[in-house]
A = this chain, B = another copy of it.
Amino acid sequence: MADGPRGRVQGDKWRQVNKESQTSGNPLVLFMPSGKRGRFPVGTPILDAARQLGVYVESVCGGRGICGRCQIEIQQGHFAKHGIESRAENISEFGAKEHRYAEKRDLKEGRRLSCSSTVQGDLVIDVPQDVQVNAQVVRKAAINRVIERNPAIHMCYVEVDEPDMHKPLGDLDRLKAQLERDWGWSDLLVSQHLLPSVQKILRKGGWTATAAIHQDMESSRPTIIALWPELKNEAYGIACDIGSTTIALHLVSLLSGRIVASSGTSNPQIRFGEDLMSRVSYVMMNPDGREAMTNAVRQAINELTVNVCKESGVSPGDILDLVFVGNPIMHHLFLGIDPTELGQAPFALAVSGAVHSWASELGLAVNEGARVYLLPCIAGHVGADAAAASLSEGPHRQDRMMLLVDVGTNAEIVLGNKDRVVAASSPTGPAFEGAEISSGQRAAPGAIERVRIDPQTLEPRFRVIGVEQWSNEPGFDENAAGSGITGICGSAIIEVVAEMYLTGIISEDGVVDGSMAARNPRIFSSGRTFSYLLHDGAQKITVTQNDVRAIQLAKAALYAGIKLLMQKLGIDHVDTIRFAGAFGSFIDPKYAMVLGLIPDCELGEVKAVGNAAGTGALMALLNRDHRREIENTVNRIEKIETALEPNFQQLFIDAMALPNKVDPFTRLARQVALPQRKARENAATGDGRRPGRRRRG
């Protein structure tokens, strides 16, 4: 046994062994970061100890000491909390197999091969998790997240018996028998497409081969989905977020968890319709519309895959597992499902549960046997992207009450803690994304992204994407000359409206106060209403009364949705808020609260988490337990359809005010807004006007 392969062994057998040894005075072994611990007889290989405890340690070669995937590190010292004195001599000495491996390949200082080292005393063992969530795509909060790996793909190296006329089992049958003997895989299925190549592969490898075995759910039979001659010491996966605007994709090593490349592109479906509903309309109006959009998104994914493979030198044939998330319409179009039903009540999803499929069925140019997993959708307007964001941020894992908001054309809202989770979608419309705003634009160079208005002078200063300086700082004009100043993006729309409110340019009801024109000509009449001139350049950038109304409507929808969920849970306070998505990444939480987008909360507890949906996809790719976690959570989530809630309309109307009539004057408003409005009042008193009085132009 000492030199034989030690593969995956079925849980029951191990648990039994472990139960016996736990009762004895055997050394105590603690694995980090999982914290799983157990007692094992002296001489137990570390890899076996890990498996007995259900700690996932990769091993492709089955304990032959050649793949180097099972590396661990010993933490030395006294761990009082755990009652463990972990010392260097408590692990076996560096052995022959480790020397051999270290000579041939690179074995970092301090690293050991867990298949070839044994327990000699109490140990605290680090299982290195190489997962680095990419900072470019996921913002600070998510960096350094540790995703413990337990992928659905297992790479298993075997040495297969040669054919024997006395025992005429087929080549594939002997391969399966060896996978059962070495790795404990019984009852294996085989992907049909492998049958024609099995014989050549085994002969090419001199009767050694590595099988990729897929088993996602325990209730599904494990399946050989790919086969290579000799030791194949790498396998990759893809985690992809199909947004209606952007498709973002990570290429990940399934054996180390490392993101080896990331790429993103515009969703080419935009040419069929800018927003979701216009894409549904396109399908309804065009007989080939669904197929065209399905092909477009699949082709974009294939192009991104080629890009990340080129960048990292990975062969697309080494991609074996793919996880996709997206809103319900993106999800359906990707799967080739007509989304028409999602465009009308009762917004029926064709499929809401997790989808298991094959890359080849979806036209994806990766390994022919590669599998595909889509996270479940929560409801007709709350998709697999919201499920993935929930998996990432985990309201269902919290003791405290967490609000998770992803703002797009709809705001997807999830609220809850480990006891109970509710979710809804609220029709914010595209105002927060800069659409329906007179000077609105997407976040791109030239777009105004930050705004401040001087409460005394009502003069603005702002920052433009791509320019370091504020608009009132030296050097701004030269730097802004390149791209020009072309519009206002989502984050700045929030800020400018909030600043207009704080400076009294708009009232609590959202009316631009025409009387302010006397104080600064930037407030000017435009027909029956007034506007605010933010920038007077080649392109005039103004905030109109309609713009303010659009933001009021959007924020009212968002806030009313949140409030509805809070009412469902019977709470009047959330402990922590997570903003997912691009919009959330750029808005300033303080302004979101001033304007009443979100309920009152400690500012330090409001965090932007970037592409949480992408992070969730990554988690589901690297650990199939996370798939079960989100499937169970989605089953448990109470789905609230705002359109069916009698309260919603009133909550919406109440939320139109600035900040909100619902919370007449929030704590933050008292902290932030009051002093500012006070200052304004003082200034106003100077020119004889009462603050806050409404006038119509």
Q: Which residues of A contact B (CB under 8 A)?
A: 163-173, 176, 187, 189-190, 192-193, 195-196, 198-200, 219-221, 335-338, 341, 345-353, 355-358, 361-362, 377-380, 639, 641, 643-644
Contacts and interface: CB of A to CB of B under 8 A. Distances in A.
B199 A338 contact: yes
A353 B169 CA distance: 8
B166 A335 contact: no
A691 to B, nearest CB: 45
A350 B199 contact: yes
Contacts of A199: 337-338, 341, 348, 350
Given A219-B187, A221-B219, A165 B644 contact: yes
A281 to B, nearest CB: 18
A170 B352 CA distance: 4
Given A199-B341, A221-B220, A336-B195, A168 B353 contact: no
Contact of A195 (B166, B169, B350): B350
Given A195-B335, A195-B337, A219-B187, A165 B641 contact: yes
B163 A353 contact: no
B196 A349 contact: no
A373 to B, nearest CB: 12
5 contacts: A163-B341, A163-B347, A168-B379, A172-B352, A195-B355
Interface centre among A168, A173, A336, A358 (most CB of B within 10 A): A168
Given A336-B196, A361-B192, A170 B221 contact: no
Contacts of A378: 168
Nearest to A336: B196
Given A195-B336, A196-B336, A338-B199, A169 B346 contact: no
A195 to B, nearest CB: 5
A573 to B, nearest CB: 27
Contacts of A189: 220, 356
A349 B219 contact: no
A641 B361 CA distance: 42
A353 B346 CA distance: 49
Contact of A163 (B192, B198, B348): B348
B347 A165 contact: yes
Nearest to A345: B165
A92 B351 CA distance: 43
A641 B192 CA distance: 29
Contacts of A644: 165-166
Nearest to A220: B221
Given A220-B221, A341-B199, A644-B165, A171 B335 contact: no
A190 B166 CA distance: 41
A356 B191 CA distance: 9
Nearest to A193: B361
Contacts of A190: 351
B361 A170 contact: no
Contacts of A169: 349, 352
Contacts of A641: 165-166, 168
A380 B345 CA distance: 61
Contact of A196 (B176, B195, B335, B345): B335
A377 B170 contact: yes
A393 to B, nearest CB: 21
A347 B165 CA distance: 7
Given A170-B349, A195-B337, 8 more contacts: A166-B644, A167-B639, A168-B352, A168-B380, A192-B357, A195-B335, A195-B355, A199-B338
A177 to B, nearest CB: 10
A167 B379 CA distance: 8
Given A195-B335, A220-B221, A336-B195, A164 B350 contact: no
A356 B223 CA distance: 12
Contacts of A335: 195-196
Nearest to A640: B166
A195 B163 contact: no
A332 to B, nearest CB: 9
Contacts of A196: 335-338, 350
A641 B190 CA distance: 28
Contact of A168 (B176, B221, B639): B639
Contact of A170 (B176, B192, B345, B348): B348
Contact of A350 (B172, B193, B362): B172
Contacts of A338: 196, 199-200
Interface centre among A164, A166, A200 (most CB of B within 10 A): A166
A199 B641 CA distance: 21
A484 to B, nearest CB: 45
A170 B346 contact: no
A346 B165 contact: yes
A338 to B, nearest CB: 7
A163 B352 CA distance: 12
Given A196-B338, A337-B195, A338-B199, A349 B165 contact: no
B166 A353 contact: no
